[in-house]
Chains A and B, each alone.
Chain A
Amino acid sequence: MTTEPSVSRSEGPLDLDGLIAEVEAEAAERRRSPGWPIEAEARIAEHLAKNAPSPDVRPTLHRLVTAIEEASFITIDVPTTSSRRPVTLLKVLLKKALGFWFRFLVDQVTSLGVTTARTVRAVVIRIEEVERRLDRVDAQIPQAAQLPAAGEPSPALDTWRPELVALAGAGGGRTLCADLQATELSAELQAAGVDAYGLERVGDPFDTSLELRHGDLLAHLGDVDEDALGCVLLAGCTDRLDGASFPSLVRELTRVLRPGGRLAVAAEAPWSWQLRVGAVEADLAAARPFSVDTWLAHLSEAGFVATAAHAEDGQSYLVTARLAAT
């Protein structure tokens, strides 16, 4: 397993990082200038959107079936033209002589195509039926839709931001800040000279920039090398945990943090979360914020020295921990 790609880009006669910074500054300056073609930019965005395909692939599947059907009706009208007249005559002769045989083959090919198209159409229709049923199922469980979505801002981050920022960079290695508003927090840390990168659950899964990753926290930690990180800041992303994955999360944190590494968990208090989402939804939720005690118990067991602080309003808490040196 490994961590970030370790391509050195600052060595050599060409300062690529400096060049990128200059280009970014130039782009920002041009955008601010009065001559910036706002209308042209808007028109480009409009046309890009207009030419993008519909996310609903069902019409495309029907077109696919139609294309199979159309392609099934192959022709026996063999081209006979040639630059040399004797060859043309020969081709015409062969076409006439073999016409009955071609028709025999064509009938079978067309039959195969039509049968295939009918089968594919049946599959498409079944898929549509399944999708319609799923839509109905989704509509019948509104309480699930009302639950806070992963990635929704948590009150914990704003409350504990100064403590999180102060802790960043501790532990002597790279700092990972996940999950809510990781873009903003990691950018703030980077600007302050901290070797930090962000991880957000939502976002472009194909964005593989080194400064901001997208994806599931546990999956990301699984890709990180042992002892690779000095500090992990978890703000809000732990507000939706389930009991099954919690031990794995603690185990992965223990693995990726180097000895002496620091961990901070800013989370909403369970009672506050329950009040916010409502008792019914909270009872039915598959995931929830965990209590301070759970964090402290598991972290201690895993070799961390952990302490906790509660917000004055009681709505959130901050757990800070140091991984004991081995």
Chain B
Amino acid sequence: MTGRPVLQVVPTFAPRDAIGDHARQVDRLLKDHGVPTAIYAQVAVPEIAHLARPFQELAGKRDTGGVLLHHHSTGTAVVDQLVERPEALVIDYHNITPAALFEPWEPVVAAELAWGRRQLEVLRSRTHAALADSRFNALELRGMGWTRVAVAPIVRDLGRVDQRRRLPRVGAAPELLFVGRLSPNKCQHDLLGALALHRAVHGPGARLRLIGGASSSTYEKALRSLAVDLGVADAVSFENGLSDVELVDAYERASAFVCLSRHEGFSVPVLEAMRHGLPVVALAAAALPETVADGGLLLPRGDLDLVVAAVHRVTSDGATWAALSTAGLRRAATFHLEDARRSFWDALQGALEGC
């Protein structure tokens, strides 16, 4: 490490958010290594605003003499200012959802996402190195011509992985769970379709819990309307603002975690599900194969009949449930906080070489 301050820049700093939580862990990591550091946020949610400084404060300084670590996940005016600054710049790339997935629902968000990708071109010529929190994300940057890219994991405390074997939660009334914002790329509409088909094929016992706030109010409205049209409104719950305890309870009670996302840069909820011994059924898309690996059932296609067959198998066959639960626990155990801290630290040091 150069001994210079490492100043993190997070455009939107929020609690219970993958990037916000990661930035806080990185802040702690840097402080533990004696590196002067601070988090600068353009927008900070009041609950944790005291942990960050306003970005305007950084913008007002001519040269901090440090290194700027920018967390990039969408288009932001922050980038326009960062590229003009004299400090060495490193980005931590969390991926950007393809704008096409948002375009019909939220054109404003889509424009921001497209802007974010265009900003990567500007950042490429200005940035010293890039960190990417998955191999998928690193490949994407390399595909755009970035040369100094290292995979540095999300630093997140999943808590101790409780390796005790669970009793299979199988039966005629499975409770399916998905945790993630209501967002077109996460394809909750396919989950609703799968639920409807599951109930048509295997009886009306299955239920679905969708936990997470909405990234798109239009999409949320369409999902609620779709649930009514499909006749599953009574079998679906849209939940938001759960406490940590309530979320753990959701993982512990569910029969399976089903993820049909078309685009994920990493997916922390998948890891959390595995950490709670909850079998994971996921579409093999984007970074999900890398996150799930051998800890869950990866579907090669999102066809609803295949999804239903997979979910039915997992939630009706105790041996399969138990085997997937164990596989998930084993996989989650590889995401140990200390390992992630060490890997991130090594990657960051490598990225800062020659700064």
Contact B262 A47 (CB under 8 A): no
With A5-B289, A7-B289, A37-B200 known as contacts, the answer to whether A50 contacts B229 (CB < 8 A) is: yes
Find out whether the CB atom of B229 lies under 8 angstroms from the CB atom of A19.
no
B304-326 with Cβ < 8 A to chain A: 304-306, 308-310, 313, 320, 323-324, 326
8 A Cβ contacts from B268-315 to A:
284-286, 289-290, 293-294, 297-301, 303-306, 308-310, 313
User: A79 near B: Cβ within 8 Å?
Assistant: no
Taking a contact as CB atoms under 8 Å apart, the answer to whether B229 and A47 are in contact is yes
- Tell me which residues from 48 to 104 in chain B have a Cβ below 8 Å from any Cβ of chain A: 98, 100-101, 103-104
Selected contact of B285 from candidates A20, A23, A207, CB within 8 Å: A207
Kindly identify which residue among B98, B135, B189 contacts A51, using a CB–CB cutoff of 8 Å.
B189
Which residue of A23, A45, A208 contacts B286 across the interface (Cβ within 8 Å)? A208
Nearest Cβ in chain B — how far from A25, in angstroms? 9
B197 and A2 contact, CB distance less than 8 A: no
> Are B226 and A11 in contact, CB atoms less than 8 angstroms apart?
no
User: When the two chains form the complex, which single residue of A26, A44, A51, A207 contacts B222, counting CB atoms closer than 8 Å?
Assistant: A51
Which chain A residues lie closer than 8 Å to B289 at the CB level? 5, 7, 208, 210
Determine whether the beta carbon of B294 is less than 8 Å from that of A7. yes
Residue B225 CB within 8 A of the other chain: yes
Contact of A54 with B104 in the complex, beta carbons under 8 Å: yes
Chain A, residue nearest B135 (CB): A5
* C-alpha spacing A31/B309, complex, angstroms: 10
By the criterion CB–CB under 8 Å, are B290 and A48 in contact? no
With an 8 A cutoff between CB atoms, is B136 at the interface? yes
Contact assessment for A23 and B309 in the assembled complex, using a CB-CB cutoff below 8 Å: yes
- Residues of A within 8 Å of B, CB-based: how many? 49
B298 touches which one: A20, A36, A41 (CB < 8 A)?
A: A20
Q: Which residue of A lies closest to B313 (CB)?
A: A23
A1 within 8 A of B: yes
Is A143 an interface position by the 8 A CB rule? no
User: Contacts of B222 on A, CB cut-off 8 Å?
Assistant: 51-53
* B143 with A40: CB separation less than 8 A: no
The digit string for A15-34, where 1 denotes a CB below 8 A from any CB of B, is: 01001101110110011000
Q: Is the CB of B125 closer than 8 A to any CB of chain A?
A: no
In the bound assembly, the distance between CA atoms of A94 and B263 in angstroms comes to 51
* A37 and B201 contacting across the interface, CB-CB below 8 Å: yes
Q: What B residues does A53 contact at CB under 8 A?
A: 104-105, 218, 222
A209 within 8 A of B: yes
Expressed in whole angstroms, the Cα–Cα distance for A52 and B221 within the complex equals: 11
Is there a chain B Cβ closer than 8 Å to A166's Cβ?
no
Return chain B residues, CB-CB under 8 Å to A209: 284-285, 300-301
Chain A residues contacting B201 (CB-CB under 8 Å) are 30, 36-37
A178–chain B nearest beta-carbon distance, Å: 17
A142 at the binding interface (Cβ < 8 Å): no
Indicate if the CB atoms of A11 and B294 lie closer than 8 Å: yes
0 or 1 for each of B136-165: is its CB under 8 Å from A? (1 = yes): 100100110000000000000000000000
Asked if B108 and A223 sit within 8 Å, CB to CB, the answer is no
- Known contacts A57-B104, A223-B142: A9-B298 contact under CB 8 Å: yes
B294 & A51 in contact (Cβ 8 Å cutoff):
no
Write the chain B residue with the least CB distance to A25: B309
Is A219 interfacial (CB 8 A cutoff)?
yes
Partner of B300, one of A8, A40, A51, A211: A211
Q: Is the CB of A12 within 8 A of B294?
A: yes
B293 pairs with A7, CB closer than 8 A? yes
Partner of A7, one of B286, B290, B303: B290
Interchain residue pairs with CB less than 8 A apart (22): A5-B289, A8-B294, A16-B297, A16-B298, A20-B300, A24-B306, A26-B313, A30-B201, A30-B309, A40-B197, A41-B200, A41-B304, A48-B193, A51-B222, A51-B226, A52-B189, A53-B222, A54-B104, A206-B286, A207-B285, A208-B285, A210-B284
Knowing that A47-B229, A209-B285 touch, tell me 15 more A-B residue pairs with CB under 8 angstroms: A5-B289, A7-B289, A11-B294, A12-B327, A16-B294, A23-B310, A24-B306, A27-B303, A30-B305, A43-B230, A47-B193, A48-B190, A55-B104, A206-B286, A222-B143
Q: Residues of B with Cβ closer than 8 Å to A?
A: 98, 100-101, 103-105, 107-108, 135-136, 139, 142-143, 189-190, 193, 196-197, 200-201, 218, 222-223, 225-226, 229-230, 262-263, 284-286, 289-290, 293-294, 297-301, 303-306, 308-310, 313, 320, 323-324, 326-327, 330
- Give 4 nearest A-B pairs by CB, closest first: A27-B309, A53-B104, A40-B200, A47-B229
